[in-house]
Amino acid sequence: MSFEVPADEADYRLVWEFYRDDQDGEIPPAAVSTEVVLDATFTSAGVSADAPVALPVSVVRYTPELGLDSALPGGHPVGIPVTVAGSAANGGHQSLAVSYSTDGGATWAPAPIVGGEAQVTNPAAGGSVYLRAEVTDAQGNTMTQTIIDAYLTS
């Protein structure tokens, strides 16, 4: 993706929504990560046409050890490995907060990060977990990333 910005420095907001459904019949419907929303704010200015610059945006990756059914055991606390990529990677963030929802996003609970893992208490079997990360990098750029049905519980 590329786009031009004015030569003067300004603040921008980028909202990216990704849906995993079978609207066009080309991909099988997904049971997990059915929707991902990234909402980022950043400061940028125009650059030379010959020198594209990466946006100062971050993303968060979760790498839980899911079963073949895309699930973790229900009713148990788990640690979900969290990695920050982009402008806030490699310790370049001022803040990182993860929260989770087990009721379809109606309420959110903090998921403290301990040893690089977000601490989540899974709902009973048959549920799903939404994950949300909020990151601010060292330059004050922000990102909120929400994953709907990040994983299931069994």
Q: pLDDT (tens digit, 9 = 90+) per residue, 104-114?
A: 999 999 999 99
CA angle centred on 129, ends 128 and 132, rounded to 5°? 155
The answer to whether 54 touches 5, Cβ cutoff 8 Å, is no
Residue 4's pLDDT is 67
Backbone dihedral angles phi then psi of residue 4, each to the nearest 5 degrees: -95, 145
Q: Which tokens is 28 given?
A: 């099988």
CATH architecture of 10-153: Sandwich (2.60)
Q: Tell me the pLDDT tens digit for each residue of 62-87.
A: 999 988 888 999 999 999 999 998 88
Tell me which residue has tokens 């699930």: 71
Tell me the mean pLDDT in the region 1-30.
Answer: 71
Residue 2's pLDDT is 63
Residue 18's pLDDT is 85
Identity at 68, one-letter amino acid code: L
Tell me which residue has tokens 């907060």: 97
Q: How confident is the model at residue 23 (pLDDT cuts 50, 70, 90)?
A: low
Domain ranges of the chain: 10-153
Q: How confident is the model at residue 20 (pLDDT cuts 50, 70, 90)?
A: confident
Q: Tell me the pLDDT tens digit for each residue of 116-137.
A: 999 999 999 999 999 999 999 9
* Helix H or strand E segment including 104: none
Closest Cα to residue 60, out of 127, 131, 8, 121? Answer: 131
